[in-house]
Structures are given as structure tokens and as C-alpha cells.
Amino acid sequence: MSGALQLLSPLAGYALPLAEVPDPVFAQGLAGDGVAIDPTGEVLFAPAAGEIVVMPAGRHALTLRVAGAEVLMHVGIDTVQLGDRGFELLVQDGAHVAVGTPLLKFSLDVIARGARSAVTPVLLSASGGARITHRVTGRVVAPGEVLMEATVAALAPTAAPTGPVLRKRFVAAFGHGLHARPAALIATALQPLSAEVTVHAAGRSANARSTVALMALGVREGEVLGVAATGADAAAVMQALAGLMPEASPQVKPPPAVRAAPLVSVPPVLPGVTAARGFALGVAVVLAAADREVSPEGAGADAERAALAAALERVRAALTRRRENSGATGGEILEAHLALLADPELVQRAQQAIDAGQGAAFSYRQASRALAAQLAGLEDARLRERAADLRDLERQVLAALAGEDPHAGPALPDGAIVIAEEILPSQLLSLDASRIAGVAMASGGPTSHVAILAAARAVPALVAMGDGVLAIAPGTPLVLDADAGQLLVNPDAAAVGAARARVQARSARAVQDAAHAHEPALTRDGTRIAVLCNLGSAAEVAAALQAGAEGCGLLRTEFLFLERRDPPDEEEQTAAYRAVLAQLKGRPLTIRTLDAGGDKPIAYLPLPPEANPALGLRGVRTSLWRPDLFQVQLRAILRAAQHGPCRILLPMVAEPADLQQAREMLARARRELGPGPLPELGIMVETPSCALQAQTLAAGVDFLSIGTNDLSQYTLAMDRLHPALAARLDALHPAVLALIRMTTTAAQERAREVAVCGALASDALAVPILLGLGVRELSCVPALIPRIKALVRGVTLTECEGLAHSALRLAGAAEVRALARDWQSQRGLFAEVA
């Protein structure tokens, strides 16, 4: 039996014969027969109806399974080296799509800058027999236009090969793993040989003669492949593969088939990325990440729609109750979950699947994971981490559909250090706060919602630890040191004793600090250091004042602009700023203007495409790019300033021109509103250029505030959202300290005060060094204010200046931290710091 197959063009562009593809594997047809398209459009559509297979090697390649054949669409040549940069997946693995469904968005600009060519092969490989009977080349094609026609014939069954099974192991020594080119070379090498060949990797297997199947294994560079060959040419198969890959030595072990295999040996110390600082002693509690089984079949569209509506309402009610009792940070995150729960596209996708005959749970999971896949495919790290929020909601809705409490948490022992592939925000909120001691996650990022929650609840947390942490057996004694970014597994008695003493010392110190939190921070030689707080909204003011904050040194106004479909108007902003001023009761408020762009995108403020958003429209640059929004914010701040002491802080100022333009707009807003107080104007020192020009800039402002997070990122050329670099990105690096010293020196010459509002102000090891460099105001995380104040009271400026001088002469941040640790320990200031 045979059938006809018609494939439509998945792209707009110019159709070329494969021979013109600038890659011999595709040009010679080694990966399959077909047509290439030099694209002019940036969306890939389904050329036929079928099932999607996402290639694990990267989002640049997709396979569509149709009747008797597979269609491989490989966007660009050598695009595997881009990773997922420039590609946005619009469908999920295993999805059944109709012809013309958008599958993938991509950036021609990113491809042009980072790959050899944008030419896209569209290839037909058959699991049965397939032969192209008609193809279009040599002209422009549009999406949906007929591109190829083929006949697909089922292959006659063949007898299984006989003979012994020959097995060998090879190392996938291909750059970027087993992507299209090496997969095609392997399949081609086996064509003339008579044997059944199967490749095994990480618990999966594939027919070695199928390029698509090999790519779908998702094998990375350096992984071990197990190969089994049966038939007359089995030995020749191994010889052919040995010409493409080196054999694995007996010492090289294949990766475990199951990610959380408990039999894997766990090293005594596991590194991780700090998501929330702290120190804990406890025992391992492992949270399983098993998928809930759901049936694709429904009981009728009406019944399934009603069931989904009831489950959504149940989750909404539970989220609302929890929001009211979760504090400011938890409440904001749950508010975002409530908005996501009501997202019309998510609900509509689920309802459409229900109308097609699927069950409510299956439909919601399918819709949620499709949207999560889109988010996970974005370049922006912050938005990628929002995919975890969708997974969280999926877990809650499916629990509600099963008649269970969507927020039920497991029972924990005392001192539980919770281990998981990923802990979701609602899961963390459901855990008994009196029993949880810490969190260790195999994946996740330092800016995720669960990281923010952990910090707000004073739960030490490490993320991005890799598979090794999943091999820890439940009940294993652990020491979690999130200050140093490491987890000690099954420590000996001496290490446990030291950890217990450290925990007790911290607890006693915290009680003592809290008793004096409302006293001023005076150094032993009588200098007053202002200790203020960083705030995200009015809801956080009460807790900050209770902790001893003397005002707000940084109000992040992004809370008004994020997670919404349109910008806040002047009235809303004025009311919000007045609410913060009212709660501060005469204490100073520093309002940072909108710091959007980079890792803080805003849906209604689409920025131009940027190859490197961290170096593009950020902070005040974004505001100056959209003066209409900036003018509204400045007017709102000026109106609020009539009701209390208020300062304006401009983020990401890089040069005097930025400041001059902002000053002109502020003056214009003052003229428009009429007579009234003009708040002090300051700039954030976050770029090396700003620090280097501090003397010039200080002449035009009333104060300066150093943002150590971004200043470190730009000084050390390390992306602060990159998990692999997070442990090395430390603002105590001497190069960063030198720029801080340059800023304070320039400010002193102009009689301007300098504050630090970045993370370094909340780092107890750093505070004496900052004082020694000339900083006289610290804006901290509220929970750490009592400790910072107590530390200031234990030092003299003369001592701090000597410490800072020594720190500037060291080679790296690790040496500076060691120096600061010894210095404080000798004075009995902070002996429990590791």
C-alpha cells in the first residue's frame, strides 16, 4: 500500500535545491531528501498535520511525524552553536498540530550574527518508504504554498537479524553533541551494512539508521553511547562507528538512566548557586517530581468544562486565602499566580482541547506546558524562570481536579533540608516554616520566585546544583552553607559539632541584634551611619520599620509597572508613592525611577531586538527612550513629594548626557505642575563609566547610590543571571572595590553623600570595608538591618579604612572575603560567618 503526501512551505523565502546548501551533509542528501529555503520570514509553520518531536539538542530543529514519514526542519546552518538563543518554541514535544500551525519563532538577526547561514533544509526521511515526486525550487515561496509532494509506501516486514549481539561503548566527541551533522554521518556510515543497530543513551534508545531518532536522543558532547549490533555485519558496524567516535575507556561510565538514581555515589561536598543566604544543619527530605497520571479521554465537553471551571475556582480561592497570610513578598507572588490562573489564552487553549474530546486534566496540562515551553524558549532569564510558575499552577489545578487539596504539603521532620529537582513557590509556601531549615535544588535560578520567597522567609537556599543532589538518600545528615554556596553531605562528627555551634551562635546573635534594632548605628568613634531599607511596595514598609529601618534608600517602582497590560497613570503612581510616604511617617523615601529592560522586561513596553539586552536599553535609557512614560512618573513623584521627604534616584546612568536629559525633563515637569518642592536628585552608580566620571557627575546631583549587583556584572564581564558564573560574580572583588573608592573620593570633593543600595550593603562581611571606602549610608534587605546596625556599632572608621586599604591590594574576591572573615573574627564581631 502507498499513499500521497503533500508538504506545504513552512517558511517565507526563496526555495533552493539541497545541492546549494552550504553544508555537505545536507547538500549531499545524507540527512534526507528535500528542499532548502533561504528565509525572509521569522516564523516556522507546520507543513502538514502531524506530531511534533522537539530535538533536545536545541530549538533550531523540529521534526514533524506524518503518516509513514518524518519531516525534519533545520533552521539555519551551524545554528546548534547558538544554543536556544534567538529561538522561541511555540509548541510542546508530542503535540498534534494542524497544517499551518505556528511552530517556532526565530531571529534572522541573531542567526546572521552567530551562525554560518540562515538557509533552512526541509527534509523528508521515511520510516516506511518515501520518494519525492514533485518539488519547488528556484523561486520565492510563501507559507502554505505547496513545496513538495511525495509517495509513501509501507515497507514489507523484514526478518529479524540473527546471530550474537555485539556491544561497544563510544564517546560522542562531537561539538554541541549529536545534532544533525554527526547523526547523519552515523546513519550514512551504516547504510551499506547488514545489521540491526541500536544506540542507547541516558535510558533512551534509537535506531542508529535514523538521523531524526539519533537527534531525538539529546546526546551532549562527551556523553557515552552504548551501541548494540546484531547481524552479519555487526563487527563492520563497530569498525565504521570507531572511525567516527572514540571508544569509551573502561573507566568512563555511562550517565545514569534515571536522573535521581539513588545508587549514584554522592561526593562529600556539592557546590551550588546561592539563591538565599544563610546556614543550616539538618536532614535530607526528598520531594519526588513524579507526573500525575491523567487520562486523555473526557466524559463529554460539558462535564469536562464544568470540572475545569470548578477546579480553577477552587485553586483561585485557595490562592486568595494564602495570599492574605503570606506577607508582602509571598502575597505579590501569589497575586501574580492569580493573574496567570485567569490568563485567557491558557484557559482558552484548555477549553479548545476539551471541546475536541479530551479530559479536563489532560487538556489543562497540554495548554499549560505549551505556554511554559514558549517561556522556557525565551532569551531572557527572568521570563524563562516564569515557566516554573506555570508548572506550579498545573500541579495545583490537577490536584484540584483529582479532588485533593491543591496546597497540601508533606509532613516534615525538624530541621528538614528539602531536596528536589525544582521546588515550586506554592510548594515552599505549603511547607511548615517551623521545620524547614533549607532548600537544595538541582535546577532553578537565583532570580526565580521560589528564590525570592526563600530569602523573604529566611530559608537558606541553593539552586542549579545538578543531578548529584538528587542522589542524596532521604534522612542523610546535611550542612547547607548558602553563604559559601555548598552542601556538605553526611558530615563527620566534628563538622556537625561545628555547624551546630554556628547555628546556635547565629540564633543568639539574632536575639541580641533585634533588642537594639531601633537604636542608631554609631561607630565606636562616633560616626553616624544611616541604615535604610530597600522596598518593593507599600506592603513591605511595616516589617522594615519593625526591623529598625531609618527610611527607604531604594523604592523599586517596577512593582507598579510589571505583571500588567498597560502602564500605571499619574494618579495611580501618585497614590502609590503617597502610601509609602504615609507609612514611613516622616522618614526619607528614595524613589528609583523605572528600571526596565535587561532582566526586567515589560509586556506593554516592547523594546527593539537586542543581541545583548544587558548592554541595551536599560534603566534611565529606557525612560529617555519613552519620554511620555518618564514624564508621567516624574510628575507623580513631584506631586507625592508635597507630602513627605522624598528623593529621586536615576538608574543605570552611564554618562553626563543621561543625567542632563533627565534633569531637563524633571525641570519641565516642575514647570507644568507649578510651584512646589523639588526633591533631591541622585544617580545610581552601576557602570564603570559612571564611576570613572563620578567627579563630573557628582557636580550635577545631590547624592550618589551604588548598585553593586550591576556594577559587579559590568566590571567583571559576567552575566549576573548566568548560573555557571553566579558563584564567581562577587562585588567584593578588588576591581569593584576600586570603583567604589573612586566614587566616594569624587563625591567627597563635591560634598556629596554616597550610599550603597545593592546586595553588598546587606552582606555583613562587606560592611566594614564599605565604611572604610567612604560609604556613609547603607540600604539593606529589611530582615538584615538589626545585624548590620550591630556590626557598625562594633567598629571604628580608622579600623575600617585600614581594612579597606588592605582589601584593595588583594587579587580576588575570595582573598578579600578571607581577609574580612579573619578581621571580624579577631574582633569578635561576626565569628559565626564561615
- Cite the active site residues: 449, 757
- 8 Å CB contact between 520 and 528: yes
Cα Rg for the chain, rounded, in angstroms?
A: 30
**Rounded distance, CA 499 to CA 492, Å?**
11
**DSSP 8-state class, residue 706:** E
- CB count in 10 Å sphere of residue 609: 13
Distances (CA, A) of 264 to 260, 422, 473: 8, 19, 10
Q: Quick check: 37 and 141 in contact, CB under 8 A?
A: yes
- Strand extents, DSSP E, 541-602: 552-556, 589-592
**DSSP annotation string for 420-456:** ES---HHHHHHS-TTTEEEEEESS--TTSHHHHHHHH
Q: 204-207 and 33-39 as β-strands: parallel, antiparallel, unpaired? A: unpaired
Contact 708, 730 (CB under 8 A): no
Q: Determine how β-strand 703-706 pairs with β-strand 753-756.
A: parallel
282-291 burial, b at 16+ Cβ within 10 Å, e below that, comes to bbbbbbebee
Calpha distance 178→173 (Å, rounded): 9
Q: Which amino acid is at 570?
A: E
Least Cα distance to 402 among 286, 295, 287 occurs for 295
Classify residue 41 as exposed, middle or buried by CB count within 10 Å of its CB (0-12, 13-18, 19+): middle
Q: Could you give the 3-state DSSP secondary structure of residue 153?
A: strand
Span between the terminal Cα atoms of the chain, in Å: 73
What is the C-alpha to C-alpha distance for residues 390 and 397, in angstroms, rounded to an integer?
10
- The residues that bridge with 8 in the sheet, in sequence order, are 146
Exposure letters 151-170 (e unless 16+ CB within 10 A, then b): ebeeeeeeeebeeeebebbb
Question: Are 666 and 629 contacting, i.e. CB atoms less than 8 angstroms apart?
Answer: no
Q: Are 331 and 543 in contact (CB under 8 A)?
A: no
* C-alpha span between 331 and 338 (Å, rounded): 10
Phi, psi of 384 (to 5 degrees): -60, -40
Beta strand residue intervals within 9-49, DSSP E: 13-17, 33-39, 43-45
3-state secondary structure of 757: coil
Whole-angstrom distance, CA of residue 211 vs CA of residue 193: 16
Cell 514558549 -> residue: 374
Report the alpha-carbon distance of residue 732 to residue 811 in Å, rounded.
Answer: 11
- Confirm if 53 and 93 have CB atoms less than 8 A apart: yes
d(CA 620, CA 728): 28
